[in-house]
């Protein structure tokens, strides 16, 4: 009897101990997981790499398509995300119109709405971006008239046995970079209120929380400090690429850089409790050597016909200007501007990305093609000097504009002309 009682008591103690250990056994017994994030951002409307900008031109959506296809074949179950700013920084409606359909072909899991998506106006955003069928996310971007969200605030994707929440964020500060009339009717909710509204709920729903951010490098750091529940922040404009993830508390911040010149890969290791225990990271340059056999079909033909938009500017061949401005003509003939079109490889002489900076007035009522407007090849006088038709008959009453550094920076961007100095260049061609 006593032995039976002792035995029964022993089983009670043993069972009690097992019950207390169950949470620990379950946690340690759950399988570890690995999650691969492929991320892009700040594409800036670059459809094709600039063939004449450097010895090894980077970027281009056609190359990205081939590279992503290869990565998806090597790593099934990866998640493909973008932090936003798909469209150009200065607004190029003809080229920007091509970007959303290409993004759709690339099969992203989530794409954040950046402020540059409004660079061509709210109407363009609705007609060309919203209608493209992309998996857009933005938790704070609202329609000023209805007060409703433009797109889903977040998406939850399941892969490798994990539920991954992809939350899109942008704030009002980003929109100060573009003219208010372009985003008329758009409002942005308070960033602090937005994260307070969505983050606690997403932490309960998902194993991993990833924020696709258009807040800039400083804003990303602030967000990580204030909201430590975030696992990964994929950042966008402005800010440099991160060769190594920036770690703020337990949050990892990664950024791909600008112009679509490289994509990022982040492999996360998670334990049974879905905590990140390790990671591997790499930035992959989008160059020809990484994507052999690129198919141009993914990004559309390089030979595009653009319907010119109506402007009050007049684009003319440069030679007639010599009648009144012989010294200016000599300065132009000796400059690289007079040979800009010839610098393009033959297969790039109808390229959406190249012609704005290698021909005069393309898509603005100027250059059309080699047959119809050969006199508007190269960067001519009216590329830089704004001229009205009245100048031809009454030049004194309608003078052409002076050239400013802002004019030059339309094409001589830091990425294309890293050593560009307006003062030095103008001294060589002053007229």
What angle (nearest 5°) sits at the alpha carbon of residue 66, between those of residues 265 and 165? 40
Angle of helix 216-226 versus helix 191-205 axis, rounded to 10? 60
How far apart CA 265 and CA 218 sit, in angstroms, is 22
CB 209 within 8 A of CB 230: yes
SS (H, E, C) 316-379: CCCHHHHHCCHHHHHHHHCCHHHHCCCCCCHHHCCCCCCHHHHECCCCCCCCCCCCCCHHHECC
State the distance between the two ends of the chain, measured CA to CA, in whole angstroms. 115
How far apart CA 167 and CA 231 sit, in angstroms, is 11
Angle of helix 61-74 versus helix 99-106 axis, rounded to 10? 10
Per-residue confidence (pLDDT) for residue 264, from 0 to 100: 97
Per-residue confidence (pLDDT) for residue 116, from 0 to 100: 94
Per-residue confidence (pLDDT) for residue 276, from 0 to 100: 94
The backbone torsions φ and ψ at residue 191, rounded to the nearest 5 degrees and listed phi first, read -60, -45
Residues 6 or more apart whose Cβ sits within 8 Å of residue 286: 49, 58, 59, 60, 63, 64, 67, 260, 261, 262, 263
The backbone torsions φ and ψ at residue 44, rounded to the nearest 5 degrees and listed phi first, read 60, 30
Partners of residue 247 on adjacent β-strands: 252
Query: Residue 265 is inside which H or E element, if any?
Result: strand 262-270
Residue 142: other Cβ atoms inside 10 A:
17
Residues 6 or more apart whose Cβ sits within 8 Å of residue 75: 36
How far apart CA 357 and CA 76 sit, in angstroms, is 40
pLDDT tens, position by position, for the chain (431 residues)? 333 333 344 444 433 443 344 443 333 445 789 999 999 999 998 887 776 566 677 888 888 988 998 999 999 999 999 999 999 887 888 888 889 999 999 999 999 999 999 999 999 999 999 999 999 999 999 988 888 899 999 999 999 899 999 999 998 888 888 888 999 999 999 999 999 999 999 999 999 999 999 999 999 999 999 999 999 999 987 778 999 999 999 999 999 998 889 999 999 999 989 999 999 999 999 986 554 444 434 344 444 444 455 556 888 888 888 889 989 889 889 988 999 888 887 766 766 668 888 988 877 778 877 877 888 889 999 988 988 877 877 888 888 888 888 888 888 887 778 888 888 888 888 88
Per-residue confidence (pLDDT) for residue 98, from 0 to 100: 87
User: Which is nearest to 218 in space by CA: 231, 206, 208, 233?
Assistant: 233
Per-residue confidence (pLDDT) for residue 7, from 0 to 100: 38
């Amino acid at each position: 009897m006593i032995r039976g009682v002792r035995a029964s008591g022993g089983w009670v103690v043993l069972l009690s101990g097992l019950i207390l250990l169950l949470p620990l056994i379950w946690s340690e017994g759950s399988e570890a997981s690995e999650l691969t994030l492929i991320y892009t951002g700040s594409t800036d409307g670059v459809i094709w790499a600039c063939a004449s900008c450097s010895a090894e031109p980077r970027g281009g959506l056609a190359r990205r398509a081939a590279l992503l296809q290869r990565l998806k074949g090597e790593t099934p179950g990866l998640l493909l995300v973008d932090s936003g700013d798909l469209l150009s920084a200065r607004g190029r409606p003809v080229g920007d119109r091509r970007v959303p359909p290409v993004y759709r072909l690339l099969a992203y899991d989530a794409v954040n709405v950046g402020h540059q998506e409004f660079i061509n106006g709210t109407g363009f955003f609705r007609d060309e971006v919203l209608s493209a069928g992309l998996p857009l996310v933005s938790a704070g971007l609202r329609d000023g008239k209805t007060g409703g969200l433009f797109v889903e605030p977040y998406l939850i994707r399941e892969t490798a046995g994990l539920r991954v929440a992809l939350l899109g964020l942008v704030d009002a500060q980003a929109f100060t970079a573009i003219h208010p009339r372009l985003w008329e009717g758009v409002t942005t909710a308070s960033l602090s209120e937005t994260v307070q509204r969505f983050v606690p709920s997403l932490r309960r729903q998902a194993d991993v929380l990833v924020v696709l951010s258009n807040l800039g490098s400083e804003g990303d750091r602030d967000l990580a400090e204030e909201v430590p529940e975030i696992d990964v922040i994929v950042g966008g404009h402005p800010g440099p690429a991160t060769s190594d993830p920036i770690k703020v508390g337990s949050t990892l911040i990664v950024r791909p850089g600008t112009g679509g010149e490289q994509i990022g890969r982040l492999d996360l290791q998670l334990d049974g409790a879905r905590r990140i225990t390790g990671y591997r990271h790499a930035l992959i340059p989008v160059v020809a050597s990484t994507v052999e056999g690129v198919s141009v079909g993914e990004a559309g033909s390089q030979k595009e016909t653009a319907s010119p938009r109506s402007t009050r500017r007049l684009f003319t061949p440069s030679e007639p200007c010599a009648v009144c401005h012989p010294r200016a003509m000599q300065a132009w003939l000796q400059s690289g501007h007079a040979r800009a079109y010839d610098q393009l490889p033959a297969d790039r002489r109808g390229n959406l990305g190249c012609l704005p900076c290698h021909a005069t007035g393309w898509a603005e009522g100027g250059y059309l093609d080699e047959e119809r407007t050969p006199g508007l090849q190269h960067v001519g006088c009216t590329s830089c000097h704004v001229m009205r038709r009245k100048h031809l008959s009454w030049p004194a009453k309608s003078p052409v504009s002076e050239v400013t550094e802002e004019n030059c920076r339309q094409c001589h961007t830091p990425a294309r002309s890293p050593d560009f100095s307006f003062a030095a260049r103008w001294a060589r061609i002053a007229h």
